[in-house]
Amino acid sequence: MARVGLTVPTSPTSLRRFADQLIQEAARATAPGPRAAFSVAGRDLEVRFASAGLYAALAPAWSALSPTTGEGVTLHVVDRDAGGDPPAPPWPADAYRPRDEIDGVGDERLEVAYQLTTGTLMLWDARARTGVWWTRSAAEIPVWERAMPLRALLRWALRDAGVALVHGAAVGTDDALALLVGVGGSGKSTLALAAQQAGWRYVGDDYCAVDPATGMVAPVTSYAKVTEGTLARLPGLDGLRAPLPPSPDGKVVLSVRPAAALRLALLALPCVVQHAAPPAPAGPASTMAALAPTSLLQMPGSRPTDRELLGQVVRGTPAVTLPSGPVLGETLAGLRRVLVAG
Partner 1 sequence: MLRLTPNRPNVLDEVFDGEAVLVHLGTGRYFALSPSATEVWAALGAGADWDRLTGGVGVAEPELAAFVHRLVDEQLVTADGDLPARPDSVAADGPSFEVYTDMQDLLLLDPIHDINLDGSGWPESA
To the nearest whole angstrom, how small is the minimum distance from the Cβ of residue 233 to partner 1? 23
Minimum separation from the CB atom of position 90 to partner 1 (A): 9
Per CB under 8 A, the segment of 63-71, 125-133, 243-251, 282-290 that binds partner 1 is 282-290
β pairing state of 280-281 and 319-324: antiparallel
Residue 142 makes contact with partner 1 by CB under 8 A: no
Helix, strand, coil percentages, rounded to 5, for the chain: 35, 25, 35
The only residue of 7, 85, 199, 248 in contact with partner 1, by rule CB under 8 A: 85
| Cα dihedral 261, 265, 270, 275 sign | negative
For partner 1, the closer CB: 1 or 341? 1
DSSP string, 171-234: EESSS-EEEE--STTSSHHHHHHHHHHTT-EEEESSEEEEETTTTEEEES-SEEEE-HHHHHH-
Choices 43-51, 212-220, 232-240, 285-293; region in contact with partner 1 by CB under 8 A: 285-293
Interface positions, 172-201, toward partner 1 (CB under 8 A): 183
270 and 324 in contact (C-beta within 8 Å)?
Answer: yes
- Candidates 340, 329, 61; CA nearest to 197 is 329
* Residue of 215, 247, 296, 318 that binds partner 1 (CB under 8 A): 296
Please identify, among the stretches 25-33, 117-125, 226-234, 266-274, the one whose residues bind partner 1 according to the rule CB under 8 A: 117-125
Q: Which stretch binds partner 1 (CB under 8 A): 109-117, 250-258, 264-272, 329-337?
A: 109-117
Nearer of residues 316 and 326 to partner 1, judged by Cβ: 316
Residue 126 CB coordination number (10 Å): 17
**Is residue 136 within the footprint of partner 1 (CB under 8 A)?**
yes
